[in-house]
Amino acid sequence: MSEVVIRKREFDAVIFDLDGVITKTADVHEVAWAELFNGYLRQRADSGGDPFEPFTTADYGRYVDGKPRYNGVQSFLQSRDIDLPWGDPSDPADRETVCGLGNRKNVEFLRLVEQDGVEPYPSSVQFIADLHSAGIKTALFSSSRNAGAVLEAAGLGDLFSVRVDGKLAAELGLTGKPDPEYLLEATSRIGATPDRTAVVEDAISGVEAGRRGNFGLVIGVDRIDQAAELAQHGADVVVSDLAEARVEGVGE
């Protein structure tokens, strides 16, 4: 782990992922994914399919975290040699398609958010405030179609003036991470260039997107003990929390 210093002379902007970086919702997503996949895998096992092998934290980080929901479903199923039809985003949550399973996961995620609320990481919110004080632009990018609802639930609805989330990405036809299109769109919308923009991500697919987009700095936030994997896939530096990041000249 290393301290990160953002200097105005080097960076015009910093762009952030949401879940696991700004809000403590990566854990909520993981629980919702586990509920979905473990229920589905057990159902297959009970009907004479493969023996039940539970969905793990390693599976979450490798196949699901940071990806658009349906892509995450397909990626994990492929890892278990399960082939389902893609279906349609309008599929009900009980339909055995990629979209149906993805919609079932979303129902569980929203239930958990409503039940437990959303908590932000104070150090992340402070880091963003320091960036604003220094005149450094910020934007949010997120594969989640629920990004706006999550920010509102966390009391952070006004934190970002620019947000590229799953809903906007679908309208624009953007390709999800590890492709850098979400990140490049967010950067363009705040009038910055990738070479003078830093990316903050906790997902393997996200740091890989930062590397592919040739961003000036990719900061990996290690929440689930995957520092080595974050560095391997594109993080220039890895921190355990944004308390380890500071803005030059602010609060000194």
Asked if residue 145 and residue 20 are part of one domain, the reply reads yes
The CATH number given to whatever domain includes residue 9 is 3.40.50.1000
Q: Is 17 a catalytic residue?
A: yes
Residue 252 lies in a domain: no
Asked if residue 136 and residue 204 are part of one domain, the reply reads yes
Catalytic residue among 17, 65, 202, 222: 17
Q: Is 165 a catalytic residue?
A: no
Asked if residue 211 and residue 160 are part of one domain, the reply reads yes
Asked if residue 159 and residue 46 are part of one domain, the reply reads no
Residue 193 lies in a domain: yes
CB-CB contact of 6 with 135 (8 Å):
no
- Of 99, 116, 133, which residue constitutes the final position of a domain? 116
Total domains in the chain come to 2
pLDDT at 180: 97
**Parallel, antiparallel or unpaired: strands 197-201 and 245-247:** unpaired
Name the 3-class secondary structure at 247: strand
pLDDT along the chain (252 residues), means of 10: 85 96 89 95 88 92 86 96 95 95 92 88 97 97 90 92 93 94 98 98 94 98 92 96 93 64
Which phi and psi angles does 52 have, rounded to 5°?
-65, 120
Residue that has been written with the tokens 């966390």 in this structure: 154
Asked if residue 232 and residue 143 are part of one domain, the reply reads yes
Catalytic residue among 12, 19, 59, 202: 19
Asked if residue 223 and residue 150 are part of one domain, the reply reads yes
CB-CB contact of 123 with 247 (8 Å):
no
Task: Give pTM, 2 decimals.
Answer: 0.81
Q: Which among 55, 22, 7, 60 is positioned nearest to 200, based on CA atoms?
A: 22
Asked if residue 236 and residue 140 are part of one domain, the reply reads yes
Which phi and psi angles does 117 have, rounded to 5°?
75, -175
pLDDT at 1: 47
Residue 2 one-letter amino acid: S
Asked if residue 97 and residue 175 are part of one domain, the reply reads no
Asked if residue 139 and residue 34 are part of one domain, the reply reads no
pLDDT at 65: 83
Asked if residue 203 and residue 152 are part of one domain, the reply reads yes
Q: Which among 61, 64, 69 is positioned nearest to 86, based on CA atoms?
A: 69
Asked if residue 19 and residue 54 are part of one domain, the reply reads no
- Of 81, 116, 151, which residue constitutes the final position of a domain? 116
Q: Which residues constitute the domain of residue 81?
A: 27-116
Cα–Cα distance, 247 to 228 (Å, whole number) = 25
- Of 54, 84, 116, which residue constitutes the final position of a domain? 116
